[in-house]
Structure 1
Amino acid sequence: MTLQFTYLKVKQAMQSKQIKEPKLWKSYDEQLEILKSRGLQIDDEKNALGYLRSIGYYRLSGYFYSFRQFDPQNPNSRLDRFITDTRFGDVKSLYMFDKKLRQLALDALERIEVALRVNIAHTLGQYDPLSYKDNKYFTSGFNHAEWMNRHDNLVEREKKTGFITHHLEHYIDLPIWVACEVWDFGTMSMMYKGMLNKDKDRIAKLYRLKDGKHLQTHLHAFNFIRNVSAHYSRLWNRDITFKASLKGLSDAEWKSFPINKPFVYFCLMKRMLDIICPRTEWGSRLLALLDEFPDVANEAVSLRDMGLENNPRN
């Protein structure tokens, strides 16, 4: 597709009103006036301006959205107008809750990632220290070359790190228990997906799961949540694109959780952490954070939007 053809297509789309011109730049004071004109109650304008300056209107708009009125002509759409009795403080509290939720997710996923690196390295390392370089230890459908390219790029990025430099200078290559230290969550998850079923199952059973296919779906969902959290994006009511399988989990209550909302994945994180770190207080920290969810007068938002139907302490 030529650049000229692309330009013509964009121009035609703009002329047919499919694509709009970018919105005009607004000063912070103008942004505040827009919010007030749409019905947002602002008790402390100086404080609100501070948030617009430090966080930005666009990032906050993801939190404003939940407080906007539904379009009576289209229940799947929202109007610009805020629901009656929406206060800037409500939006600020929701933003801070979500920030803490992301931090809690990253804390859990760091521990899960480190533990799974060890599990994978220990399982494959028994065959050969360089097993990760040999496609015979992976399924036929696994794109081993693509994974190796990703791995090599990570090694190159970290080649000046002490332990990488040491091994490259004194050994012919990195054994898997060293190589795994440069993997990110996505690279680790991708490798696990490509492992032979018997090896995946062996690791899954460490976490009291039926088989490796179930753990694989958990890791895909965790990777999505990690990426959302690491990029400081809205998490609390996010639709989870990669849905985990809950089959084989003994507690019938699992079936009551919406699989497309975050709460069930925090429960899965807790389940794994209780095995990895039996004395962890992460679950208590999660419950304490849920208690901090903003109690807004107009009930525009609630923990149901996160996937909870009842009080998690019950």
Structure 2
Amino acid sequence: MTRSFSKPALTLTDQINLLESRGLIVSDKAKAEFYLARINYYRLRAYCLPFEQSPQTHQFKTGTTFENVLDLYIFDRELRLHLLDAIERIEVSMRSIWAYELAHAYNPHAHLDRTLFDERQWVKNLAKLHREVERSNEDFIRHFKRTYSEALPPVWVAVEVMSLGSLSSWFGILKPRQARQKIATHYGINHSVLESWLHHLAIVRNICAHHSRLWNKEISVAPRNIRSSGHPLHNGIITSSKKIYNSLVILLYLMDQIAPNHQWGQKLLNHIKTCPQSLSAMDFPSDWESRQIWQR
């Protein structure tokens, strides 16, 4: 049964007093006020949960400091930035490959050919693309509208106004198996695995872009595993998990495919080792450091 909300708004001082009443050690109240004013008490509360003895009482474990909570918050913030760096490169790569393969296998406006796609979702995707083109202020879109009579630009232009979520959907509804696999082959994986990974990464990307908690969150869509015994990432995905470990493995693998000499993996590895909480909260297996994907 629901009840009326009756909690009052708390001042920064009241917020600190509440945290202290629950056992949090706040040795520098000015510092705590500074961060609470800029982060928001409610946002920071999510990072208090791993340090609590019980979710019912909200009492902190003995010895927990404000700095412990803040360090976890900062770790997660930097983790999101690391992931956005890789996702941006993977998204740009996928845009390029998807557009190139469609244009050369079919024609420059292959995305307008309903026979190539699942028709029901194609209608929705096309309507969304029309809206994206219509509201775009990009120079290349304005140039196309001034110069050509077609309502929509060719696929290599259209793809530049698609989000990763849109691109994931367009790939997912592409019907010809040969075209799907030709795109997926650029990444050394099966087309059904690529479809799953793109969907998963689009969700992760949105979590990062909206500055949401990431480090121990369950991702709503779990990525597919690679079953081929000869593949370097064979069974590298933990199928029972929806945590961020799988996302990191996928990003490492895809970065290895599109930028073999990248330093992103080493930077990620260095950051992971600074995690102020147990890596098991992100579903890291106990032998993760010995797995091939983490050898940098």
Please report the TM-score for the alignment, with normalisation by the length of structure 2. 0.91
2:242: which partner in 1?
260
Equivalent position to 2:216, from 237, 251, 257:
237
The runs of at least 4 aligned residues of structure 1 exceeding 2 Å deviation read 247-253, 255-259, 309-314
**Alignment of 1:183 onto 2:162:** yes
Aligned with 1:80: secondary structure? coil
Partner of 1:226 in structure 2?
205
Partner of 1:270: 252
Q: CA RMSD of the aligned region, Å?
A: 1.7
Query: Quick one: distance in 1 between partners of 2:72 and 2:206?
Result: 20
Instruction: Provide, for residues 59-114 of structure 1, a one-character-per-residue CA deviation record: whole Å limited to 9, x for no partner.
Output: 101101111113xxxxxx54311111111101100000000100011111101111
Query: Higher mean Cα deviation, 248-257 or 269-278?
Result: 248-257
Tell me, what secondary structure is at the counterpart of 1:143?
Answer: helix
User: Is residue 281 of structure 2 the alignment partner of residue 305 of structure 1?
Assistant: yes
Aligned to 1:57: 41
Aligned-residue sequence identity (percent) comes to 31
Q: Where does the alignment leave 5 or more consecutive residues of structure 2 unmatched?
A: 291-296
Alignment-mate amino acid for residue 275 of structure 1:
Q
Are positions 1:130 and 2:109 aligned together? yes
How far the C-alpha of 1:19 sits from its partner, in A, is 3.5
In structure 1, distance between residues paired with 2:101 and 2:53: 53
- Cα deviation for residue 287 of structure 1 reads 0.5
Structure 2: how far apart are the matches of 1:33 and 1:129? 63
Correspondence for 1:100 = 78
Instruction: Say whether residues 1:248 and 2:227 are aligned partners.
Output: yes
How far 1:34 sits from its partner (Å)?
0.3
Cα displacement (A) at 1:247: 2.8
Q: Is the 8 A contact 1:135 1:144 kept in 2?
A: yes
Q: Which moved more, 1:250-259 or 1:280-289?
A: 250-259
Aligned length: 283
Aligned to 2:25: 41
Name which of 128, 138, 143 aligns with 1:161. Answer: 138
Q: What one-letter code is carried by the residue in structure 2 that aligns with 1:291? A: K
In structure 2, what is the Cα distance between the partners aligned to 1:96 and 1:261?
19
CA contact (8 A) 1:244 1:259 kept: no
In the TM superposition, what is the alpha-carbon distance from 1:23 to its structure 2 partner?
A: 2.1
Could you tell me which amino acid in structure 1 is paired with residue 37 of structure 2?
R
**Aligned residue number for residue 192 of structure 2:** 213
Which structure shows the bigger proportion of residues in strand conformation? Answer: 1
1:87 maps to 65
**Structure 1 length normalisation: TM-score?**
0.86
**Does 2:183 align with 1:203?**
yes
1:30-79 CA distance string (max 9 Å, x none): 01100000001112111111110000101101101111113xxxxxx543
